[in-house]
Structure 1
Amino acid sequence: MYAENIQEMICRNQKEYQDNYETMKWLSQDQAQAASRLRKTLINSVFSSPYAGWKYSQTKLHTHAISPGCAICGQGEWSCLFINGICNARCFYCPSSQDDPGQPMANTLIFDNPKDYADYVCRFNIKGVSFSGGEPFLTFDRVLKYLEVLKARTDHPVYTWMYTNGLLVTGEKLAALRDSGLDEIRFDISANFYRLKALEKAVGIIPRVTVEIPAIPEDLPSTKKLINILYKSGVDHLNLHQIRCTPFNSSRLINRGYTFVHGPRVTVLETELAALELIQYSLDQSIALPINYCSFTYRNQFQGAGARKRYSLEIKAAYEDITSTGHIRHMKITGTREIITGICQTLLSAQVDSSLYSLSGEKDSLSFAAGLWHLIDFSCVRLKIVYSTSAIRPGVTYYHPFKQVPLNPNKTVVIERQVVQPGIWMEGEQIQAFGCLIIARDNEQIHKVFDTPAPDLYRGILPFEIITPGLAQYY
């Protein structure tokens, strides 16, 4: 990350946390270097085992395997339905107040009718749905209703799972969830002092049982003892989350003496190191329980990219492209009428699908899809790149271009596109350098383009073109 971007990030965090900012223990430069060395040592130790692996551009470290739900999430084909906004636990790390009963919501859309949500899942070909809250068991009948309608109404297989603190779990309710089609249940046992009775009830009833907890540094001795117990109890997966700081939970995290790390969102240093140490311990003890570390950089990049891609597909033109981050890339060359019409003639001669390019009315500019790059002579033209993002809305705002998408006769949603990079102009060698990125076929190859000393040109396009690989740097 460039120095000016880091400073921008720090200023943004100062503004968000206001008075609390000065009382927060921020990572110093020396601490960052020491923590980076420790993290590297832990990762090297983890990868001395043949059971360790990376997924999703080395942002998700795992052992053995990850659950089908986590795989669907990483592929960008997941929707989280917040079934309510209330909870009967008061976890210190919770990022929000959890005191609003609310209506079921997904991606800022309210779904007060389960048929509308099922139709949303069908319309956007969503392959996995999770039920979250709040605490779903507090509105248990609502969960059953939405789950049953979802399974009955969707026109393709949908893998479903539910998050719970386990406080209200009963065998009868678990059987009802199974009979309604729930595929997986995930317990945050840290919310219930690591008691295991609830999840033990679920084993043998729900097809897949997962423990999903934040990696709490001071609980590390306890969680180490639990890993083998969980495995022997029939738990299928252990998911470890990185604790994120928000203005709501910041005071409680400060009181625990945590060290805070700057980033797109503020995270807790010790929680990442605790997660890696726990994974290392499980491998050293030859415990076969599959564990995955769900880092914030994974969630921030892959979950956001998945949603953007889903909606960008609906609103982009055929001659535009979707980048690995889910942004819409619009490329346009400009030049004399003679040059541009000549390039157009080349495309016609190659019998290219005419929807993949668009000639301006003045015939002095041509928009085109990346797949046509090899057919275009860039020697006498300028290239302009514009990036846009997409988002789904409950209704039209009229602030940006939009498309209305009917889910059924009674429910319509709106997809908006908004320009986030209004235009980068290139010519000559700059176009040639950018062409290396266009020709690259995957995120790893694309990133190699930026490994060379990057001109200012690359700084403007980097956030919209590539997923940054690896765990987040410490600042």
Structure 2
Amino acid sequence: MLSRACQLCHEGAKMVLFITGQCNRTCWYCPISSERKGNSAVWANDREVRSDDDVLDEARIMSALGTGITGGEPFLVLDRIVHYSRLLKETFGNDHHIHMYTGIAPGERELTALVGLVDEIRFHPPHEIWPHIMESRFPDAIRTAKRLGMEVTIEVPSLPGLEYFEPLLDELDFFNINELEWSETNAGEMRQRGFDLEDCYHNAVGGAEEWTREIRRHEKVHWCSSTFKDSIQLRERLKRIAANTARPFEEITEDGTVIYGVLEYGDEMPEIDPDEMEVIDGRVEMAWWVLTEDFNDHPGKKYVVERFPNNGMVVEVIPV
């Protein structure tokens, strides 16, 4: 059983709004990058936000149908949650689905501020309190959020002790388990605990799925693998961005990247249909097949570029 937020995530239709890197907790398994951890900056997907227009542009570029607000701890900047949620709802309509993550159990005042703005709240109780989850403030926060009309999810990494949540399952709408992931910021802690990567191709920690087997028998429990995040979630989002931003001569791949040819032409401008190229800083960018098929007609340095759409990260450069 999937929440609306997870359904949109499967379609690559959820924008990720990283609202702050600040957090009062020091969870050893936290995968946030060193660039964002502790930083107060806001990011919409991979774009640092300097104005409201940056958020709206990023949502439009990917034809976002919803937004996931994350951090850090978003409740440390409650005003930002309210501001950006209202901005997105007023711009794209109430159907623009907003879910958010929190590692704390907020009170009624904080939750009331989100009514009509946040559709689903995802609680992330830190691992050290799992054995005492029923005596913590989280059950009350869950009941308050549901009473105020929000869908309620617990979302945690795949760690030992998931059985402690079983008494809470009936009070939740959904329970999500993310496969434990290795990152640059938690690698040292992982090694200290004797964990290792499952293989050389993914960030998944070996054995993490095994800890989930019993609780996954419950119909409300959803397993989100590292492979899904890497190969499906990101790919579908890139495809949406590419469909909106690719130039006429760029080829969109099955992975959502774009491919084009580059000619560094020197002094003599090549004779190419102006509608099939773009001149940028002394080089011509064009369809890769025009560059390779008419190889001898275009003197100069030539190569094919594969990159993320909308002038994103370069994946590969192939000399021609």
Q: TM-score range by the shorter chain?
A: 0.7 to 0.9
Residue of structure 1 equivalent to 2:163: 224
- Which residue of the other structure, out of 296, 306, 312, is the alignment partner of 1:388? 306
Does residue 1:251 correspond to 2:153, yes or no? no
Greater mean alpha carbon deviation, residues 89-98 or residues 134-143: 89-98
**SS state of the match for residue 50, structure 2?**
coil
- Which residue of the other structure, out of 215, 237, 240, is the alignment partner of 1:278? 215
2-structure distance, mates of 1:230, 1:317 = 50
Kept in 2: contact 1:308–1:389 (CA 8 A): no
| Rg (Cα) greater in structure | 1
Greater mean alpha carbon deviation, residues 241-250 or residues 81-90: 241-250
**SS state of the match for residue 212, structure 1?**
strand
- Which residue of the other structure, out of 7, 29, 43, is the alignment partner of 1:105? 43
- Which residue of the other structure, out of 210, 228, 233, is the alignment partner of 1:298? 228
Does residue 1:309 correspond to 2:239, yes or no? yes
- Which residue of the other structure, out of 170, 176, 193, is the alignment partner of 1:239? 176
Deviation at 1:130, TM superposition (A): 0.8
User: Where do residues 277-426 of structure 1 align in structure 2 (5 Å cutoff)?
Assistant: 277-279=214-216, 282=217, 287-288=218-219, 290-318=220-248, 321-328=251-258, 388-392=306-310, 415-416=311-312, 418=314, 420=316, 422=318
**Identical-pair percentage:** 26
2-structure distance, mates of 1:88, 1:361 = 54
**SS state of the match for residue 274, structure 1?**
helix
**SS state of the match for residue 161, structure 1?**
strand
1:362/1:129 CA distance change after superposition, 3 Å = closer
Structure with a larger share of its residues in helix: 1
User: Where do residues 4-15 of structure 1 align in structure 2 (5 Å cutoff)?
Assistant: none
1:225/1:151 CA distance change after superposition, 3 Å = same
- Which residue of the other structure, out of 15, 23, 34, is the alignment partner of 1:79? 15
Deviation at 1:114, TM superposition (A): 3.1
Deviation at 1:74, TM superposition (A): 1.3
- Which residue of the other structure, out of 124, 131, 137, is the alignment partner of 2:69? 131
2-structure distance, mates of 1:269, 1:363 = 47
User: Deviation per CA, 1:330-364, whole angstroms, max 9, x where unpaired?
Assistant: 79xxxxxxxxxxxxxxxxxxxxxxxxx99959996
Does residue 1:260 correspond to 2:197, yes or no? yes
Residue of structure 2 equivalent to 1:467: none
**SS state of the match for residue 31, structure 2?**
coil
Kept in 2: contact 1:82–1:131 (CA 8 A): yes
**SS state of the match for residue 326, structure 1?**
coil
Does residue 1:70 correspond to 2:13, yes or no? no
Deviation at 1:317, TM superposition (A): 4.5
User: Deviation per CA, 1:408-438, whole angstroms, max 9, x where unpaired?
Assistant: xxxxxxx3574626389xxxxxxxxxxxxxx
Kept in 2: contact 1:122–1:155 (CA 8 A): no
2:63 maps to amino acid: N
Kept in 1: contact 2:61–2:245 (CA 8 A): no
Kept in 1: contact 2:256–2:309 (CA 8 A): no
2-structure distance, mates of 1:244, 1:148 = 32
Deviation at 1:225, TM superposition (A): 4.4
User: Deviation per CA, 1:25-59, whole angstroms, max 9, x where unpaired?
Assistant: xxxxxxxxxxxxxxxxxxxxxxxxxxxxxxxxxxx
Greater mean alpha carbon deviation, residues 67-76 or residues 149-158: 149-158
1:116/1:246 CA distance change after superposition, 3 Å = closer
Kept in 2: contact 1:327–1:388 (CA 8 A): yes
**SS state of the match for residue 137, structure 1?**
helix
Q: Which has the higher contact order (CA 8 A, sep 6+)?
A: 1
Deviation at 1:213, TM superposition (A): 0.3
1-structure distance, mates of 2:293, 2:16 = 46
**SS state of the match for residue 422, structure 1?**
strand
Kept in 1: contact 2:198–2:207 (CA 8 A): no
Deviation at 1:202, TM superposition (A): 1.7
- Number of residues paired by the alignment? 279
Kept in 1: contact 2:49–2:55 (CA 8 A): yes
Residue of structure 1 equivalent to 2:154: 211
Residue of structure 2 equivalent to 1:165: 103
2-structure distance, mates of 1:112, 1:321 = 31
Deviation at 1:265, TM superposition (A): 4.1
User: Deviation per CA, 1:257-300, whole angstroms, max 9, x where unpaired?
Assistant: 22432333443112111123431xx3xxxx44x21111111111
Give unpaired runs (5+ residues) of structure 1: 1-64, 332-356, 366-385, 393-414, 425-475
2:150 maps to amino acid: P
2:90 maps to amino acid: A
